[in-house]
């Protein structure tokens, strides 16, 4: 237990990761898969940001009266990751909308079935 205690901040990451991956693989609905993907991506946020926190510190905006700041570099990286995440989500949803229009369904197995019926 003593080995695990200093690393509790990663448990949340792990839980989110399992949840995201699980929704992504197990569910057949295309929108739901995208939400799983978004949860998976957001699990990374804590992996980067939590270790950057220093107890007794403050947000990295330099001002008189503070000397300890949390680490700004992970913040910058995750800002990028969030924006990349929403960009991917937007594109994924656009493709899903087109799939719905072309196949009349957004369930993975029904789409595969229709493709098979067409004989590739």
Partner 1 sequence: MALQRDLFSVVVLFAIYSFLMATVLVALDAVDVAMTEAAVGAGASTVLLLGALHLTGAREAKRMERPLVPLALSIVVAAVLGWGSLGLPAFSDPGAPIHTHVVPRYLNDGPRETGVPNIVAAVLASYRGYDTLGETVVVFAAGAGVIALLRRRKRR
Partner 2 sequence: MLEHLPALQVVLPLVAAPLIVLARSTRFAWLATTVVSYACLVCAALLASRVADGGAISYALGNWPPPWGIEYRVDALSAFVLVAVSLTASFVAPYAQRSIAAEIEPDRQYLMYAMYCLCLAGLLGMAITGDAFNLFVFLEISSLASYVLIALGRRRQALFAAYQYMLLGTVGATFYVIGVGLLYLVTGTLNFADLAERLRMVQDLRPVLAALAFITVGMGLKFALFPLHQWLPNAYAFAPSMATAFLAATATKVSVYVLLRYYFTVFDPAALFERLPTREIFLLLSVAAMVVASLAAVYQRDVKRLFAWSSVAQVGYITLGIGLENQAGLTGSITHLLNHGVTKGAIFLLLGGVALRAGAGAVTMETLAGLGRRMPLTALGLVVAGLSLIGLPGTAGFVTKWYLIVGALERGAWWVVAAIAASSLIAVAYVWRVVEAAYLREAPAPAAARREAPAGMLAAGLAMAGLCVYFGFFTSINVEGAHAAAALLLRGAQ
Partner 3 sequence: MKDDIILRVVAKLLLPFMLLFALYVQFHADFGPGGGFQAGVIAAAAVIFYSLIFGLRAGERLAPPWIVEAMLAGGVLVYAGVGVAGLLLGGNYLDYFVLHADPAAGQHRGIFWVEIGVLLTVAGAMLKLYTMFAGRDRNEDGEEEGA
- The residues binding partner 2 (CB under 8 A) are 21, 24, 30, 33, 37, 40-41, 44, 47-48, 51, 74, 77, 80-81, 84, 87-88, 91-92, 95-96, 98-99, 102-103, 111, 115, 120
Of the candidates 76, 48, 46, 70, which has an alpha carbon nearest to the alpha carbon of residue 57? Answer: 70
**57 CB contacts (<8 Å, ≥6 apart)?**
66, 68, 69, 70
Rounded CA-CA distance 73/49 in Å is: 9
CB of 119 to partner 1, least distance (A): 24
Q: Which residues within the stretch 26-85 sit at the binding site for partner 1 (CB under 8 A)?
A: 26-32, 35, 38-39, 42, 45-47, 49-55, 57-63, 68-80, 82-85
**Which member of 18, 26, 84, 93 binds partner 3 (CB under 8 A)?**
93
């Amino acid at each position: 237990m003593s080995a695990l205690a200093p690393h509790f901040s990663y448990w949340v990451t792990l839980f989110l990761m399992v949840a995201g991956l699980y929704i992504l693989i197990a569910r057949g609905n295309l929108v739901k898969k995208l939400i799983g993907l978004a949860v998976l991506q957001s699990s990374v946020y804590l992996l980067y940001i939590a270790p950057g926190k220093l107890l007794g510190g403050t947000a990295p905006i330099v001002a008189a009266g503070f000397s300890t700041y949390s680490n700004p570099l992970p913040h910058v990286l995750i800002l990028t990751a969030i924006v990349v995440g929403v960009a991917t989500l937007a594109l994924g949803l656009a493709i899903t909308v087109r799939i719905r229009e072309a196949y009349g369904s957004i369930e993975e197995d029904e789409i595969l079935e229709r493709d098979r019926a067409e004989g590739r």
